[in-house]
């Protein structure tokens, strides 16, 4: 039975302790990788396994498009057809030779806003919780990270990563089909932990923050991105149904409340490094994500409001430390 193969990554770490921790997850990963868990998983795997052999001649992880080139001759339409069977592509962009994967999110814009404001990633072991298809993980490797462990339970995102990595062939990065809670139950202490766009989707955001703390070494850094309510007279917004047409948004904290939540979870040195409204320049429908996007969640008569009448999306990025020294 076809499935995703994580063996190379689970055995590739040069850090003995990290390698042992990764291998301790192998049974959980295998259970999560069962194609019967999602009705479309088998079709996604068929698309992945239809990709032609490919040897890269150049890889660029430091430009807005994570890109790879080859000197080989191959069937471009075969690759495009396979990758389009993995739509929607939400994070990116990616470039495979002349094939441009124009994802819903121009994730490079967010990365550019924060990359010089976080602790340098050179030589660090990094955990990215809710990583999607691994776009940010590649950018972290480009910034010098030693190993990036991405976790996301979405089978489609894991397959998208496997497809991109079919071309790049990195043994330093993987997207594992795990939830944050699975990691928190058996944590490893990383140098840097990212949680980008996850907190607002947790029914118990405080438990998520506590789990992130347990995944950091003493003195390690958390990079947390989330939706916030940008109102001085409101501590939080708790949508009763949908928010910007999204069903699973449970809380939008104010920045002061988010700071208090991080402090209560045990973090120190808490600092907001970026805050901005999300625009349709950064998040939009494309040929690679042809379904509804941000524009469909905004009031057509007032883009400062969602269609439900809430303030339009504002996101902030906060960094914080786990107290103590290595």
Domain assignments of the chain as residue spans, ordered by start = 7-321
Please provide residue 102's backbone torsions phi and psi, each rounded to the nearest 5 degrees. -90, 90
Cα–Cα distance for residue pair 298/243, rounded to 1 Å: 10
- Ranges of residues in the chain with a pLDDT under 50 are none
**What does the pLDDT look like over 174-225, one tens digit per residue?**
999 999 999 999 999 999 999 999 999 999 999 999 999 999 999 999 999 9
Q: What is the pLDDT of residue 234?
A: 74
Q: What is the pLDDT of residue 101?
A: 98
Q: What is the pLDDT of residue 326?
A: 66
For the domain bounded by 7-321, which CATH number is listed? 3.40.50.150
Q: What is the pLDDT of residue 2?
A: 77
Q: What is the pLDDT of residue 232?
A: 62
**What does the pLDDT look like over 213-251, one tens digit per residue?**
999 999 999 999 999 998 667 789 999 999 999 989 999
Q: What is the pLDDT of residue 218?
A: 98
**CB 125 within 8 Å of CB 146:** yes
Q: What is the pLDDT of residue 1?
A: 59
Q: What is the pLDDT of residue 152?
A: 98
β-bridge partners, 311: 305
**CB 155 within 8 Å of CB 37:** yes
Share of the chain above pLDDT 70, in %: 98
Q: What is the pLDDT of residue 74?
A: 87
| Helical axes 155-168 vs 135-142, angle rounded to 10° | 40
Cα–Cα distance for residue pair 87/232, rounded to 1 Å: 39
Cα–Cα distance for residue pair 112/324, rounded to 1 Å: 29
Cα–Cα distance for residue pair 269/118, rounded to 1 Å: 12
Q: What is the pLDDT of residue 36?
A: 87
Within 10 A of 285 (CB to CB), how many other CB atoms are there? Answer: 16
Six token digits for residue 308: 């439900």
Six token digits for residue 185: 């139950």
DSSP secondary structure code for residue 280 in this structure:
T
Cα–Cα distance for residue pair 63/59, rounded to 1 Å: 10
């Amino acid at each position: 039975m076809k499935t995703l193969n994580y063996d190379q990554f689970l055995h590739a770490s040069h850090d003995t302790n990290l390698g042992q921790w990764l291998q301790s997850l192998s049974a959980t990963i295998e259970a999560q990788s069962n194609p019967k868990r999602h009705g479309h998983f088998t079709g996604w795997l068929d698309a992945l396994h239809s990709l032609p052999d490919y040897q890269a001649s150049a890889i660029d992880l430091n430009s807005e498009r994570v890109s790879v080139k080859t000197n080989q001759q191959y069937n471009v339409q075969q690759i495009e057809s396979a990758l389009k069977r993995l739509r929607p592509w939400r994070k990116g962009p990616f470039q495979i030779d002349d094939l441009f994967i124009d994802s819903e999110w121009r994730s490079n814009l967010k990365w550019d806003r924060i990359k010089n404001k976080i602790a340098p990633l050179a030589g660090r072991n990094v955990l990215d919780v809710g990583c999607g298809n691994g776009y940010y993980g590649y950018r972290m490797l480009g910034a010098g990270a030693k190993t990036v462990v991405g976790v996301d339970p979405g089978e489609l995102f894991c397959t998208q990563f496997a497809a991109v990595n079919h071309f790049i062939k990195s043994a330093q990065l993987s997207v594992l089909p795990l939830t944050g809670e699975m990691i928190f139950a058996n944590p490893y202490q990383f140098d840097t932990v990212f949680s980008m766009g996850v907190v607002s989707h947790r029914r118990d955001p405080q438990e998520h923050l506590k789990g992130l703390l347990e995944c950091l070494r003493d003195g390690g850094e958390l990079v947390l991105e989330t939706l916030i309510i940008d109102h001085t007279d409101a501590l939080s917004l708790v949508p009763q149904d949908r928010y910007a047409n999204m069903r699973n948004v449970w809380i939008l904290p104010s920045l002061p409340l988010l700071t208090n939540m991080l402090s209560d979870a045990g973090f120190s040195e808490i600092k907001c490094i970026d805050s901005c409204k999300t625009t349709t320049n950064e998040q939009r429908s494309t040929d690679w994500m042809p379904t509804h996007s941000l524009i469909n969640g905004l009031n057509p008569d007032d883009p400062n409001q969602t269609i439900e009448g809430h303030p339009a999306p504002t996101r902030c990025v906060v960094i914080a430390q786990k107290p103590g020294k290595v």
